[in-house]
Amino acid sequence: MLDELTEKFERVLKKVTGQGRLTEANISDTLREIRRVLLDADVNYKVAKQFIEDVKIKALGTEVLTSVTPGQLITKIIYDELTNLMGSKNTELLLNPSGVTVIMVIGLQGSGKTTFCGKLAKYLTDKKRKVLLTAADIYRPAAIEQLKLLGRQINVPVFELTGEKNAVKIAADSISFAKENGLNTVIIDTAGRLHIDEFMMNEVASIKENVKPDETLFVVDSMTGQDAVNSARAFHEKVEFDGIVLTKLDGDARGGCALSIRAVVERPIKFISLGEKLDSIEVFHPERLASRILGKGDIVSFVEKAQRELDEKEAAILEKKFRTNQFDFDDFLKQIKMIKKMGSLKSLLAMIPGANAALKNVNVDDKQVSKVEAIIQSMTKEERSKPKILNGSRRSRIARGSGTTIQDVNRLIKQFNEMQKMVKMLNTKSAKNLFGNMPIR
């Protein structure tokens, strides 16, 4: 199945090979194929549509460098965007150094909550946390027994209240129990429930209300189809969760639902679960899932190739400008446009050799980029080439013209000045040195 997809992709890629610029005509086939790939991977159809629309806007008109095919370029943009959409910085669990940290695990029936609780308990025990598992699934036959057996396997105590019919009480009592017994991490396993089951949704909301978990994790089966957006949205509306856990990724599900969920709920994917054994838990790598959704294999390798080629070529152009100290606001604007077209949301600086690696994790907000664009466009020709003449009244005119604030304009000019300073430094020192000393992050 993966071979088949790769083949499909290659077929389309060949069609558009050898063309100098991406046009509506020469990428429409690729985009149609991409849509199919995404739908086959269970990306929600609306999400897929929007995503492709975005990619198209970014890709159109992009110049294709000689050694990169248009198809590769689009694929690179897609891959980057997928990674970007699913990626996030704050994937770490919030663990309080003192006091009790409470983690609540929620989700639909059969998504893999109980097994995940066991895995998380082991993972945190290995990190020297003192863990308590709380059995709050009072509905599914033998759910409590299942958690108890898992706890026994990993030597983690399991809290239960035999015969108790109130899950809220069980959860609340378990926290006092943890406190009394010197345990600093409580993982609450809740019953699986349908997002349209009002009674059950009220229950989980009430547990959250009562125990005020530090982390609420929503567990999703990676095989989930189009409905993922509905359940995720409903759960999030009722019990705002902090992170997503993707399970059963040891199968061959492509996991497109992760993209769908990220599109409707802005929460990071924190863990992935890859098997029935209790050590098969991993932190999330967005780029791996991106290649999985796209069909794995070759796509990634030529994406990497494309990236390398692009980096080298763009960097060379930019460097030349820098070398001759001719970098003005017009260049700045050009660069911004180029960045937008390329689909890369990374900072302009990322194109400078040596800075790329350091800036890998820096994200530039799209909105911010548009703002910068608007400001520069509101400058006169003279102002753009001679930034020094930008006095107070000019600045406030620019702010009005661009629909921004004077602070925005000031910030941009400050950034630009710093950039020019760097350009000068660049011409005296080697780039490596420069970035070695800069507090880039």
Partner 1 sequence: MSILKSISFTKIKDGLSKTREKLIGKINEAITGKAKIDLETLNEIEEILLSSDIGLDTVEIIIDKVKTSLKNENSRSEETVKKVIKSELSKILEAANTKIDQMSLSKFKPYVILIIGVNGAGKTTSIGKLAYNFRSEGYKVIIGSADTFRAAANDQLEIWARKAGVEIIQGKTGADPSSIVYNAIKTAIDQNYDIVLLDTAGRLHTKINLMQELKKMHTTINKLLPYAPNDVFIVLDATTGQNAIYQVNEFKKYSTPTGLIINKLDGTAKGGVIFQICRENKIPIRYIGVGEEIDDLQVFNPNEFVNALFE
Using CB under 6 A, list all residues that contact ligand GTP: 109-110, 140, 192, 194
Residues 6+ apart with CB under 8 A from 302: 72, 75
Q: Is 51 exposed, middle or buried (0-12, 13-18, 19+ CB in 10 A)?
A: buried
Q: How far is CA 177 from CA 166, 170, 180, 318, in A?
A: 17, 10, 5, 62
Q: Does 190 bind partner 1 (CB under 8 A)?
A: no
Q: By CB under 8 A, is residue 343 in contact with partner 1?
A: no
Decide: is 368 part of the binding site for partner 1 (CB under 8 A).
Answer: no
Q: Per the structure block, which two tokens stand in for 344?
A: 């890369």
Residue 317 as a binder of partner 1 (CB under 8 A): the answer is no
Minimum separation from the CB atom of position 57 to partner 1 (A):
19
Q: Choose among partner 1, ligand GTP, none what residue 376 binds, the Cβ cut-off being 5 to 8 Å by kind.
A: none
Of 41, 120, 239, 272, the one binding partner 1 (CB under 8 A) is: 41
CB 173 within 8 A of CB 161: yes
Tell me which of partner 1, ligand GTP, none is bound by residue 256, counting a contact when its beta carbon lies within the kind-specific cut-off of 5 to 8 angstroms: partner 1
Distance CA(37)–CA(14), nearest Å, equals 17
Residue 209 near which of partner 1, ligand GTP, none (CB within 5-8 Å, type-dependent):
none
Cβ of residue 104: shortest distance to partner 1, in angstroms? Answer: 20
Tokens of 368: 């911010």
Q: Compute the least distance from the CB of residue 211 to ligand GTP, in Å.
A: 22
Give the span between the Cα atoms of 344 and 330, in whole angstroms: 20
Spatial separation of the C-alpha atoms in residues 366 and 405, rounded to whole Å: 18
- Residue 70 CA to residue 65 CA, distance in Å, equals 9
DSSP symbols for 368-387: HHHHHHHHHHTS-HHHHH-G
253 binding partner 1? (CB under 8 A)? yes
Return the structure tokens found at 393: 């009244």
- Minimum distance from residue 262 beta carbon to ligand GTP (Å): 25
Nearer to partner 1, 153 or 427 (CB): 153
Q: How far apart are CA 41 and CA 35, in angstroms?
A: 10
Cα 357–chain centre separation: 18
Residue from the set 230, 307, 378, 420 that interacts with partner 1 by CB under 8 A? 230
Among residues 11, 14, 21, 46, the one that binds partner 1 under rule CB under 8 A:
46
Pairing between β-strand 131-136 and β-strand 185-190 as defined by DSSP bridges: parallel
Q: Which is nearer to ligand GTP, 196 or 283 (CB)?
A: 196
Scan residues 144-183 and list those touching partner 1 (CB under 8 A): 145-150, 153
The tally of CA atoms less than 13 A away on the side-chain side of residue 107 is 26
- H or E element at residue 176: helix 167-180
Residue whose CB is nearest to ligand GTP in the complex, by number: 109
Minimum gap (Å) between residue 248 Cβ and ligand GTP: 10
Among 250, 282, 287, 319, binds partner 1 (CB under 8 A): 250
Q: Decide if 113 contacts 216 (C-beta within 8 A).
A: no
In the list partner 1, ligand GTP, none, the entry touching 406 (Cβ below 5 to 8 angstroms by class) is: none
Q: Which of 108, 211, 352, 364 binds partner 1 (CB under 8 A)?
A: 108
Residues in 49-78 that interact with partner 1 by CB under 8 A = 49
Instruction: Out of 6, 8, 10, 40, point to the residue binding partner 1 (CB under 8 A).
Output: 40
CA distance 327 to 27: 33
Binding site for partner 1 (CB under 8 A): 1, 36, 39-42, 44-46, 49, 108-112, 139-143, 145-150, 153, 194-196, 221, 223-228, 230-231, 248, 250-254, 256-257, 276
